[in-house]
Structure formats: structure tokens, C-alpha cells
């Protein structure tokens, strides 16, 4: 009977130690996903390359499409992603009124030149500025897409919407979901 109690106590100890280990791993993972700096440290440990002060220009058929500068970049070659810290992207426009974008974090998908950014995303040209939390750039269609609430403002207007898609070639912008706006009577069309 004493050996049976000993086995029960050992099994109980193994279960308790296992639960403590699971809780510790879960809490550590949760902290890492909510703390961008800690998450970047984890990514850098798996990185193939880490660079400070990065610049990259993308061209198609000899025409520059965008130029990016970032505080740092971490290349994950297997995933074909370059993680970015504090990216600044300039999208070149035919008329020279380029669109300038900034964000806290971003990624370039190296196999397609698709860009995703997040965290205090802001973009502007000489006529307007828009702000959102996440934004994707689709190089195939030269389109900026925000699937999070966006605020677009200019000298004489402010527009809010749940989603936005802007074609950089045609300059046509579509807003969807909960679209509201304030237009000044001084708006020049």
C-alpha cells in the first residue's frame, strides 16, 4: 500500500510539473505576441539575415514603382519575407505627385514585392492624407488596400470608412462600410 501511495504522489508531481511548464510556455508566448520588440527578438533568432538602415527600390519594366527605407530589416528566407521596423515607402506616380507612406512595422514578400504594413499607418501626397492601422500594397494591380477603418483628410474634407482600396495608376479610390464625410463649402472640384 505504501508503494501505491508513492506511485500516486509521483504521478501527481509529474502532472503538476507538466501543468506549470504548459502555463509558463503559454504566458511566454502571449507576452511575445503582444510585445512587438520581444517578437522581433524571437524572429531575429530564426532569421537568415538582420540588417540596420535598409533601402530597397522596386522596378518593373525599367520603371521605378516604389522606394523603401526602414530602420531595420530581418530576412526570413524560407518564408520569403523581409520583416521591417519603421518602414517609409515612396510610391512613384506618373505625374510626380508621389505617395509617401509610414508605419511602425511592415513586411515585404520577397517573391512578389507585396508589402504589408501595420501600426500607425499614414500616407500622404500634396492633396490628402489618410490614416489606418493596417495596409497592403498589391504590386500586380498597383493598389493600396486598407481593411481596417481609415480616415482620409484634405484641406476641405474629411472622410471615414471601414475599408479602402486605392489604385495608384488611375487614382480611383473606393470606400466601403460606414462611409461618412464632412465637406467644406470651400471644396474646389
10-residue averages of pLDDT along the chain (189 residues): 79 82 72 57 62 89 93 89 95 92 95 94 93 96 96 91 95 93 72
Determine the pLDDT at residue 29: 64
- Pair 83, 139 in one domain: yes
Determine the pLDDT at residue 109: 94
Determine the pLDDT at residue 21: 78
Answer yes or no: is 188 within a domain: no
- Pair 30, 79 in one domain: no
Rounded (5°) CA angle 94-96-100: 105
What whole-number distance in Å separates Cα of residue 129 and Cα of residue 105? 19
- Pair 55, 20 in one domain: no
- Pair 13, 55 in one domain: no
pTM: 0.71
- Pair 63, 26 in one domain: no
Q: Is 121 exposed, middle or buried (0-12, 13-18, 19+ CB in 10 A)?
A: buried
Amino acid at each position: 500500500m505504501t508503494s501505491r501511495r508513492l506511485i500516486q504522489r509521483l504521478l501527481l508531481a509529474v502532472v503538476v510539473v507538466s501543468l506549470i511548464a504548459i502555463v509558463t510556455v503559454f504566458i511566454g508566448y502571449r507576452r511575445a505576441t503582444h510585445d512587438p520588440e520581444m517578437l522581433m527578438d524571437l524572429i531575429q533568432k530564426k532569421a537568415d539575415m538582420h540588417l540596420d538602415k535598409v533601402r530597397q527600390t522596386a522596378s518593373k519594366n525599367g520603371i521605378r514603382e516604389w522606394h523603401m527605407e526602414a530602420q531595420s530589416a530581418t530576412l526570413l528566407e524560407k518564408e520569403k519575407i523581409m520583416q521591417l521596423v519603421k518602414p517609409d515607402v515612396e510610391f512613384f506616380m506618373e505625374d510626380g505627385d508621389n505617395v509617401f507612406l509610414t508605419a511602425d512595422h511592415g513586411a515585404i514578400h520577397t517573391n512578389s514585392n507585396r508589402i504589408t504594413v501595420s501600426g500607425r499607418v499614414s500616407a500622404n501626397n500634396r492633396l490628402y492624407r489618410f490614416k489606418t492601422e493596417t495596409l497592403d500594397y498589391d504590386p500586380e494591380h498597383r493598389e493600396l488596400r486598407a481593411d481596417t477603418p481609415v480616415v482620409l483628410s484634405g484641406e476641405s474634407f474629411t472622410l471615414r470608412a471601414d475599408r479602402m482600396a486605392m489604385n495608384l495608376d488611375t487614382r480611383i479610390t473606393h470606400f466601403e462600410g460606414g462611409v461618412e464625410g464632412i465637406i467644406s463649402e470651400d471644396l474646389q472640384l
